[in-house]
A and B are shown apart, each in its own frame.
Chain A
Amino acid sequence: MTLAYLIILGCRKFMTMKKHFLKTFFSVLVLASFSAGATAGVTIEHWTTAVGTRVYFVETRGLPMLDVQLDFAAGNVYAAPGKAGLPGLTRGLLEAGAGDLDEEQFAERLTDTGAQLGGGVDNDRASVALRTLSSKPEREAALALMRAVLSAPTFPEAILAREKERSIAAIREADTQPGAIAAKRFVAAIYPDHPYGVSATVESVAAITRQDVVDFHQQHYAAKNATISLIGDISRSEAEAIADQLAQALPDSGVAVTLPPVTLPEGQTIKLAHPALQSHVRIGLPAVRRGDADYFPLLVGNYSLGGGGFTSRLMKEVREKRGYVYSVSSYFYPQLLSGPFGISLQTKRSQVNDALKVVDDVLTQFMAQGPTAQELAAAKKNLVDGLALRLDSNAKLLGYLSIIGFYGLPLTYLDDFPARVNAVTIAQVRDAFARHVPRDHLVTVVVAAD
C-alpha cells in the first residue's frame, strides 16, 4: 500500500483531507532541519576515508536493508551568476546514463535489484541516496550502480535539452500558482544580493550548457567535499569497504568556494496581484546559521511562537480563536549561511489585513516578553520527550546523520540535545529573538493582495 499519508492532495491517491496536514508537514520539516538530535542507544561511528571523505555510520540489525547517502556542497547557492538551476539539473542528470549504460538501461538495472535511488538539492546540499536490501547480491549490484552514477555520469546532450525544457515548463507553471509565487518572491526579497535569493528562471535554465554541467560536477562532487552516511544491516568493516569504494569513485578535483556574506534586507511589504481567493503571506528575514550558539533558544522559543502546532500562539490566535486560516506557522531554517526565519499563512483575501494585524500583535508581544514559564516548560517537554519519535526508523536516522555530517556538527550533538534544550531560559529566548529577528528588517510578501 502506498501511503497517501502526508501526501494528501496528490491527485492519484486522493485518500485524505487532513485536519492539520500543514502542521504536520511543518513539524516534520522544522524538526528534521533543526534537531539533528539523538537519543540513548544510537551510536554514531565516524571516520575519514583515505581520499578524505568523511563517513558516518550507524549499525542497525532489525531489518535486512541498508541506506547510503552521499552529500555534497553542491546546492543551489553554488550556481554561478546567470546559471540558476544548474545544481538541480546536474543532480538530476546523474541518473541520465553512467559508464556504458544509457538512461533506460541504468533505470532497468537498478529496478531489477529492488533498490530505490533518491536525493535532490536544497540551498546548500546535493544528495544521492540509495535504499537497498542488505542481502549481498542485491546490495553489491545496487552499490555498483551508485558508484557508476558518481564516477562516470555521461550527461547526454539530448537528455540535458529535454530536462531543460521540462524545467522551463515547470517554472512557467509555478509562476501562475500563488503559493509558489509567494515562496519565490519571499526569498528574493530577504536575500536581495545573494545566491540564496536567486531562483531558476526561464532565461537562466535556457543558458545552461553541457559544459556547465560537466564543470559543476567536477568542481562540486569531489571526494574531499563529500560526506557519506550509512545506516543498516552491515558491520563496521563492511561499511568501511563500501565507503572506500564510493569515495574512490568520486572526482579528486574540486574547488574551494567562498560564498558571499548574507546581509539584512530593508524592511518592506511587497504586494502582488493574483486572482486567487486566498492571499498567501510570507513574513521573515535571514536569521540563523547551522551551529549558531543561539540555536537552542531560538528553537525552544519558536515552539511557543509558531512551531509547536496547535499549542503555539499563532495557531491559537489566528486559527483557533478567529478561524482566519487553515494553517499558520513560524520556523527557523538554519543553513550554511544565515537561513530564514519565517511566518506563513493563507487566508481569504478580504481578511488578510486583519490576519496580519493579529500576527503582528502576537510577534510583538512574544518579542517583548518571550514565552511564559508554562510555555517554556511545555516546549522543553515536547522537544526532549519527543526526540525518540524522530529517531525511530532508519530513514529518520539517516536524515540526522547526513545533517551532522554535512554541517560538521559534533558527534555528541545528539546526546547533548536534551541538556541543551533544558538549559534554555526565558531571558535567553528574548535575547536571541531580539538579535536574530530584528523587526525593522522584516519583509512581508502578500500574493493576491487587494
Chain B
Amino acid sequence: MKLPIFFATLLFFAVLPAPTFANPSLNTFETTLPNGLRVIVKEDHRAPTVVHMVWYRVGSMDEKDGTSGVAHALEHLMFKGTKRQPPGEFNRRVAAAGGQDNAFTSYDYTAYFQIVPKGALPEMMQLEADRMANLVFTPAEFAAEIKVVMEERRLRTDDNPRAQVFEAVRGTAFLAHSYRRPIIGWMNDLENLTWQDAHDWYTQWYMPSNAYVVVAGDVEHKEVFRLAKKYYGVHKARALPERKPQNEPEQKGWRRVSVKAPAKLPYLSMLWKVPRLRDVHQDRDPYALEVLAGILDGNDTSRLAKNLVRGTRIAQSAGAGYDGTVRGEATFTMGGQPAEGRSVADLEAALRAEIARIQESGIAPEELARVKTQLIAGQTYKRDSLMAQAMEIGGVEAVGLSWRDIDLLVDQLKGVSAEEVQAVARKYFKDDTLTIAVLDPQPMDTADARPASSAEVKMRH
C-alpha cells in the first residue's frame, strides 16, 4: 500500500549550520549544508552496498506551455559531460565501480541515482556534485539526444493506446494546472525544444538549495556528512525562480473524452479530483481515501478483483488508486478493461456501483483489518530493499514532508475507521468533479491499408 505524503513548504534554506537530527529507530540522520543542500542518511548494514540519490524539487509541473518535456530532456542531458568529465564518462565510471545508475522525472521532481559497492560512494558523490553545477552539453549533443527522447515518446505513448488514454484523461481533467501536460512533453514541443531551453532549465533549477541527497546502505552517517560537505559544499547558494501555484479552478460538471488507437479491448479511465495530504497531523480524509483505494484494489481480496473480475466477470482487469502525496492536484482514479462481450458502459456502471455500495453500506471490519494487516507486514518487507527505502525517503521529501513522518503516516492509516472510509466515499465521488476517458479500439487495417495477417514477408539473408 502506498503511503500518502503531504506537501507543506517547498523551499528550505538554512542560514546557519544546522544541527544534525537523528531518529535511532529508523537509523536515519539528516544535516543541512550552509548552501542549503540537505543530506539524509539511512544506515543499513545488511550488505556491503549503498544507494546514492540526488533529488531536485523540479519536475514537469514547473514547465511552461511550449516547452513541455524540458525537465525530462534535461534529465537525459545530465549524462553528457561536465567541465571536467567528457561525455559518457559518468556512465563509464559508474560501470567501472561495479555499479548501476539511472534517473527519473515525475510531475513533481527529477532524481538521479547510483547503486554501488560501498567503497565507491565518495566517487559517486564527487560525480553527482560535479554535474549539479558544471554540466556541459553542446548543441550537437542536444540535437542527438532530443531525437532519443522523441523515440522514447513514440515507444511509451504514441504507440501505446493506454498511455494515450492516460494522457487524455489528465489533459481533460486539468485546464489550468500544469498536471494537464504529459511528463515526457507533447511531440510538437519536443520538435521545437532548443538547446537554450534545456540550458536555461538547468541554470534556473539545478542548485543545492533545490536539492537533497539521500544515501541508504552500509555507511556511517558522519562520514557521509563529511563527504557531502567536501563535494557538494563547494557550490554557492542561489535564488530560485518564483513558482506560481496554478491551482485548478473548481470543476463544475463531468467531462468525457475518447481516444482511437489500434487495439482489441476498450479501456476506461475515471478520474475524480480529491484533496491531497497537506497536514500530516490534522488531515483525516487523505488517509481515508488511501484506505478506500486499498479496499477497492490493495490486495488479493479487494473488491474490484473479487467482484468485477472474478465475480460478475464484467472486467478483464480493474483497478483503483489514490495519488494524494503530490505537490499539485490529487486524484482518485478507477478504470480497467471490460471483458470480451461487455461494454465500456457496463464497466463504468459496475465501477460506480462499487462506490455506491460503500456509500450506502460501508465496509466490513474484516476488509479494513486486511488492508491494515498488509500495510503492517509491508513495513517489514520494504526493508529488504535498499532502493525501496531510499525511494520512500526521497518520495516523502519531494512533496515537502519529512522522513521523520513516515512512521506517523503508517500510524495514521492504521487509525482510519470504517466510518471514515464510508464518509469519503460519500463526499468526493460526485459527477461534477469526474473526468472519463475511453479507448475506442480500432482494427489495425483501418489505420494501415495492409492487414498484418496477410502481409508477412520473408527474405533470406
Which residues of A are in contact with B by a Cβ distance under 8 Å?
1-3, 5, 8-9, 11-21, 23-24, 27, 60, 62-65, 103-104, 107-108, 110-117, 131, 133, 138, 159, 162, 165-166, 168-170, 172-173, 175-178, 181, 266-278, 308-311, 316, 319-327, 346-348, 378, 381-389, 391-395, 440, 442, 449
In the complex, per-residue mask of B143-164: 1 if CB is within 8 Å of any chain A CB, else 0 = 1111111111011101110110
Q: How far is the CA of A89 from the CA of B332 in the complex (A)?
A: 33
- Contact (A1, B392) CB under 8 Å given A104-B301, A110-B300, A323-B148: yes
State how many angstroms separate the Cβ of A417 from the closest Cβ of chain B.
Answer: 13
In the complex, per-residue mask of B354-395: 1 if CB is within 8 Å of any chain A CB, else 0:
000000000000100110011011001101111110011001
B116 within 8 A of A: yes
Chain B residues lying within 8 Å of A172, measured Cβ to Cβ, are 264-265, 340
Scoring A170, A176, A266, A381 by chain B CB atoms within 10 A of each residue's CB, the highest score goes to A176
B18 within 8 A of A: no
- List the A side residues contacting B158 at CB < 8 Å: 277-278
A309-B300 in contact (CB<8A): no
* Inter-subunit contact A385/B98 (CB<8 Å): yes
Contacts from B to A (Cβ < 8 Å): 1-3, 5, 46-49, 72, 75-76, 79, 88, 91-92, 95-100, 102-106, 115-117, 143-152, 154-156, 158-160, 162-163, 165-166, 183-184, 262-265, 269, 299-301, 306, 309-310, 313, 316, 319, 321, 323, 325, 333, 335, 337, 339-340, 366, 369-370, 373-374, 376-377, 380-381, 383-388, 391-392, 395-396, 441, 444, 447-448, 450-452, 455-461
Q: Number of residue pairs across A and B with beta carbons under 8 Å?
A: 282
Q: A114-B376, A176-B262, A311-B92 are in contact. List 4 more A-B contacts (CB 8 A).
A: A18-B104, A107-B300, A323-B143, A348-B154
Give the distance to chain A from B70, nearest Cβ to Cβ, in Å. 12
Given A162-B313, A165-B313, A392-B386, is A5 in contact with B391 using a C-beta cutoff of 8 Å?
A: yes
Query: Which chain B positions have C-beta within 8 A of A115?
Result: 377
Q: Are B380 and A169 in contact (CB under 8 A)?
A: no
A383 and B97 CA atoms in complex are apart in Å by 10
Which residue from chain A places its CB closest to the CB of B1 in the assembled complex?
A2
Contact assessment for B370 and A170 in the assembled complex, using a CB-CB cutoff below 8 Å: no
Distance in angstroms between the alpha carbons of A18 and B102 in the assembled complex: 7
Contact partner, A178, options B1, B76, B151, B159, Cβ 8 Å: B159
Knowing A169-B316, A311-B92 touch, does A16 contact B377 (C-beta < 8 A)? no
Collect the chain B residues with CB atoms within 8 Å of residue A131's CB: 381
| A273-B96 contact given A19-B103, A346-B151, CB 8 Å threshold | no
Let me know if A165 and B339 touch, CB within 8 A.
yes
Q: Given B76, B92, B149, B457, which contacts A271 in the complex, CB threshold below 8 Å?
A: B457
Of the residues B97, B102, B265, B313, contact of A173 by C-beta under 8 Å: B265
- CB < 8 Å: which of B100, B184, B456 contacts A270? B456
B98 near A9: Cβ-Cβ < 8 Å:
no
Contact partners of A19 in chain B: CB under 8 A: 75-76, 79, 102-104
Residue of A17, A104, A277, A382 near B152 (CB, 8 A) is: A17
Complex: chain A residue closest to B156, CB-CB: A9
State whether A308 touches B95 (Cβ < 8 A). yes
Q: List chain A residues, Cβ under 8 A from B376.
A: 114
Please list 16 pairs of residues, one from A and one from B, whose beta carbons are closer than 8 Å in the complex, sorted by A's number.
A1-B3, A11-B166, A14-B183, A24-B100, A107-B301, A111-B300, A133-B380, A267-B461, A272-B455, A273-B451, A274-B452, A275-B448, A309-B100, A311-B88, A382-B99, A395-B384
Measured between beta carbons, the chain A residues less than 8 angstroms from B384 are: 63, 65, 393-395
Structural contact, A268 and B458, CB atoms closer than 8 A: yes
Q: Is the CB of A11 within 8 A of B88?
A: no
Q: From B100, B104, B299, B313, give the contact of A386 (CB < 8 A).
A: B100
Q: Are A391 and B95 in contact (CB under 8 A)?
A: no
Give A383 to B99 CA distance when docked, in angstroms: 9
**Cβ contacts under 8 Å, A168 to chain B:** 340
- B380 in contact with A16 (CB, 8 Å): no
In the complex, which residues of chain B have a beta carbon less than 8 angstroms from the beta carbon of A20? 102-103
State the Cβ distance, A419 to closest chain B Cβ, in Å: 16
Say yes or no: B383 contacts A63, CB within 8 Å: yes
Q: A274 and B448 in contact (CB under 8 A), knowing A309-B91, A326-B152, A348-B151?
A: yes
Residues of B near A384 (CB, < 8 A) are: 98
Complex contact A273–B450 (CB within 8 A): yes
Tell me, rounded to whole Å, the shortest Cβ–Cβ distance linking A285 to chain B.
Answer: 12
Contact A176 B444 (CB under 8 A): yes
Instruction: Report chain A residues within 8 Å CB of B105.
Output: 16-18
Chain B contacts for A267, CB-based, 8 A: 460-461
| Set A111, A268, A311, A347: member contacting B459, Cβ < 8 A | A268
A176 cross-chain contacts in B, Cβ below 8 A: 262-264, 441, 444
Choose one: B91, B102, B299; the contact of A111 (CB below 8 Å). B299
Most chain A Cβ neighbours within 10 Å, of B3, B72, B381, B447: B381
| Shortest Cβ distance from B150 into A: residue | A348
* A277-B154, A347-B151 as given contacts; A112 in contact with B373, CB under 8 Å: yes
Residues of A within 8 A of B72 (CB): 17
- The residues of A that contact B441 with a CB separation of less than 8 Å are 176
Chain A min CB distance to B386 (Å): 7
A348 to B150, CA, bound (A): 9
Q: Contact between A1 and B2 (Cβ–Cβ < 8 Å)?
A: yes
> What separation, in Å, do the CA atoms of A162 and B311 have in the docked complex?
10
Beta-carbon nearest neighbor of B146 in chain A = A323
* Nearest-CB residue, chain B, relative to A64: B380
Q: A15-B104, A104-B306, A326-B151 are in contact. Are A114 and B444 (CB under 8 A)?
A: no
Q: Do A319 and B386 touch across chains, with their CB atoms under 8 A apart?
A: no
